[in-house]
């Protein structure tokens, strides 16, 4: 990601695209010397292992300063190299350079000196690295072929290409520890300010290099070919498709066998997105299809255009017969809905998009504080589905107030409800109302939330014969809030496809409460394609190296009852990373799950909502959530049970929770900043008793692994 982060403000605020970054200070030899001296055991700088209670124990973080996207991921001469977007001079985004760390096993990391520093002419944005084994580039020799980095040059006002982003080369002849920029840079320049993030691989069948790069604001991936990494020929492009509510970044294209069959393969295209992801803000979507050496063709595309049917409301001609109540508090003013439907984005609001036509119901008039409601005239449900565009805050109608929601009301009772995803992108919601055909109903839009994201957006309500697809119908690498810029390793042993990603979200990345560093990586994951519901989809699991640091179980049972009062399983020591494995059997419960980082007053909740058929992660009471209005959140993924059960594997670190569900078919990744003493692991149930089987809580102790 190469935009300036959101400032910490009391309202949603969208960063402008980054062009030139202005004057940059010269690279400091003193900083280089400092970086060279830093060593990490596991993910923790040895000299800084206890410098902050939220310093991750398993997840790589730099000793100091700002870090975001992983770059240049390659396995070479037995070493995994992780390069990353890095500010060598502070803990906010800026001065983009490539930091560097190495690992023998993807669990234990050693931070290396800075790899590619910024200059006053060029900031070093994301890209990839290849091993040019046959020296096609001529940048090495036959006896000593080079590693070649293909990266984005973000040219400053001091350059001869101010504001332009173009692709450049650097090369290393010592295995990736020191780098020299190619004298002929840039090697690919289309004159665009948002052309970036090259990922390059050797296309064996054609015998040439292939590059995938994005034109971010156009939502397009461009593909190029080259024989020597220096001259590039355009092949084709892909996009826009599926989620395009924000800019596209960090593409990746690779081939995988389906169900382990080497004779049946598909290609996977990863495209990262900000904002507009399924959980709100930043995220990573993917497409499965075919690449013939020229073009990528997806196997499965979802139509998400306006549905056919009877239009109930589009707000193009005002509120019509809707009853709109503003100013419930009697404080004066016309918020939250205003005297007429909004025309797109309101003052001080993040950019609103995804609606149909020019007007929509938008309860941000006066900001998030005003309260009110809007109610439609009565209508008869005469079709099986109600489709509607919904955006805004994620404040569901729980019957306890404080909600910002759209509700279907029949005989005075709320029978269906929807809320936003902490995003100003309106996404389709589809209610199955087949059981209500013939009944009289109203829509009621509540805005009773007054904090951050305390507003709701509604447009284009349609009675239809069929459901309408939305973000939840697309394929996502991660359904949580904190998994972005996902990209995979080149040249791994046994051709394993292993990804890393930045564990954060651009909505609040610059405000997370850590020091003297800001930013960490998610656990490395191995990707495989498995047939799920009739088509190939990615499954993800932590790399095998995680098992090498397992400690003796803190709790282990074959079968336990889960009751309303909850069952405390273990209390790991403060700062102790750990893993929870459990098979949940909801039975007749309304909800069943785990609370981690639990001290009774705070916890991150991982629960299964039986009625909705959804797995969720709720961090609204996970500890320190007040540093940014967008941080408290509840993320969810539709996930049917298998034989009445759901298997979970949860990795808990000092400042994160990663949930791998159904053997990796769904993953939810979240930052969390609990009190250091909040370490408990608890099973809970609501609305009845459930069962938990094959329960294990074990410590993860990096010091027991390969780095010793």
Work out whether strand 517-518 and strand 65-76 pair parallel, antiparallel, or are unpaired. parallel
Three-state SS string over 375-394 comes to ECCCEECCCCEEEEEEEECC
Three-state SS string over 74-122 comes to EEECCEEEEEEEEECCCCCCCCCEEEEEEECCCCCCEEEEEEECCCCCE
Question: Is 120 one of the catalytic residues?
Answer: no
Q: How far apart are CA 634 and CA 706, in angstroms?
A: 36
Taking alpha carbons only, the member of 256, 286, 71, 89 closest to residue 179 is 71
Q: How far is CA 531 from the centre of its chain?
A: 23
DSSP state of 217: G
Taking alpha carbons only, the member of 561, 555, 503 closest to residue 680 is 555
Cis status of the peptide bond prior to 231, with omega within 30 of 0:
no
Q: How far apart are CA 220 and CA 107, in angstroms?
A: 34
Q: Which helix (H) or strand (E) holds 31?
A: helix 29-36
DSSP state of 552: P
Cα 434 to Cα 18, 218, 306, 385, 442: the distances in Å are 48, 39, 20, 7, 16
Give me the sign of the Cα torsion angle 8, 522, 672, 242: positive
The per-residue DSSP string of 331-357 comes to SSS-TTT-SS-B-SPPTTPPPPBS-SS
Q: Among the options 51, 69, 228, 473, which is catalytic?
A: 69
Task: Specify the 3-state DSSP secondary structure of 214.
Answer: strand
| Catalytic center residues | 69
């Amino acid at each position: 990601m190469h935009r300036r982060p959101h400032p910490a403000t009391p309202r949603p605020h969208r960063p402008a695209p980054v062009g030139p970054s202005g004057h940059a200070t010269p690279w400091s030899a003193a900083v280089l010397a400092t970086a060279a001296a830093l060593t990490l055991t596991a993910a923790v700088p040895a000299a800084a292992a206890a410098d902050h209670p939220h310093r991750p124990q398993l997840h790589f973080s730099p000793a100091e300063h700002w870090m975001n996207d992983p770059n240049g991921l390659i396995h070479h001469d037995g070493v995994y190299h992780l390069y990353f977007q890095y500010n060598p001079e502070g803990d906010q985004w800026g001065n983009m350079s490539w930091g560097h760390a190495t690992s023998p096993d993807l669990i234990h990391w050693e931070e290396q000196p800075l790899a590619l520093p910024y200059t006053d002419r060029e900031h070093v944005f994301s890209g990839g690295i290849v091993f040019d084994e046959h020296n096609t580039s001529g940048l090495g020799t036959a006896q000593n072929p080079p590693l070649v980095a293909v990266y984005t040059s973000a040219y400053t006002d001091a350059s001869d290409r101010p504001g332009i982003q173009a692709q450049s080369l650097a090369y290393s002849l010592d295995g990736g520890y020191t780098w020299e920029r190619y004298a002929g840079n840039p090697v690919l320049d289309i004159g665009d300010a948002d052309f970036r993030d090259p990922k390059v691989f050797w296309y064996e069948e054609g015998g040439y290099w292939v590059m995938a790069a994005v034109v971010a604001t156009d939502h397009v991936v461009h593909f190029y070919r080259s024989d020597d990494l220096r001259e590039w020929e355009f092949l084709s492009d892909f996009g826009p498709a599926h989620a395009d509510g924000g800019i596209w970044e960090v593409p990746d294209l690779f081939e995988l066998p389906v169900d382990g069959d080497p004779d049946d393969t598909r290609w996977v295209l990863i495209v990262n997105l900000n904002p507009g992801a399924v959980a709100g803000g930043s995220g990573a979507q993917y497409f499965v299809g075919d690449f013939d050496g020229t073009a990528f063709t997806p196997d499965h595309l979802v139509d998400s255009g306006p549905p056919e049917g009877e239009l109930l409301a589009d707000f193009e001609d005002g509120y019509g017969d809707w009853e709109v109540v503003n100013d419930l508090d009697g404080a004066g003013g016309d918020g939250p809905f205003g005297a007429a439907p909004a025309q797109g984005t309101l003052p001080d609001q993040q950019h609103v998009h995804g609606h149909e036509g020019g007007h929509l119901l938008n309860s941000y008039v006066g900001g998030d504080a005003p309260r009110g409601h809007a109610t439609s005239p009565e209508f008869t449900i005469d079709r099986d589905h109600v489709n509607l565009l919904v955006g805004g805050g994620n404040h569901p109608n729980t019957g306890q107030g404080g909600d910002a929601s759209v509700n279907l009301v029949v005989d005075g009772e709320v029978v269906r409800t929807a809320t936003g995803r902490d995003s100003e992108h309106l996404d389709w919601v589809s209610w199955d109302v087949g059981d209500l055909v013939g009944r009289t109903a109203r829509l009621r839009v509540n805005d009773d939330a007054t904090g951050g994201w305390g507003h709701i957006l509604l447009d284009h309500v349609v009675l239809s014969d069929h459901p309408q697809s939305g973000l939840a119908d697309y394929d996502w690498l991660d359904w949580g809030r904190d998994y972005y810029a996902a990209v995979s390793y080149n040249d791994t042993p046994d051709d394993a496809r292993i990804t890393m990603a930045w564990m954060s979200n651009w909505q609040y990345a610059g405000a997370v409460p850590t020091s003297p560093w800001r930013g960490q990586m998610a656990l490395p994951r191995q990707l495989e394609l498995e047939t799920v519901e009739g088509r190939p989809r990615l499954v993800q699991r932590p790399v095998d190296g995680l098992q090498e640091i397992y400690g003796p179980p803190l709790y282990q049972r074959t079968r336990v009852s889960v009751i309303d009062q909850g069952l405390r399983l273990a209390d790991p020591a403060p700062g102790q990373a750990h893993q929870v494995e459990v098979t949940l059997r909801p039975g007749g419960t309304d909800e069943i799950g785990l609370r981690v980082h639990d001290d009774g007053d705070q916890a991150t909740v991982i629960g299964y909502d039986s009625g909705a058929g959804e797995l969720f992660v709720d961090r609204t009471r996970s500890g320190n959530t007040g540093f940014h209005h967008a941080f408290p959140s509840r993320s969810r993924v539709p996930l049917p049970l298998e034989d009445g059960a759901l298997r979970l594997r949860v990795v808990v670190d000092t400042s994160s929770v990663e949930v791998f569900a159904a053997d990796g078919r769904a993953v939810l990744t979240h930052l969390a900043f609990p009190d250091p003493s909040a370490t408990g692991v608890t099973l809970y149930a609501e609305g009845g008793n459930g069962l938990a089987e094959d329960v294990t809580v074990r410590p993860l102790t990096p010091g027991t692994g390969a780095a010793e």
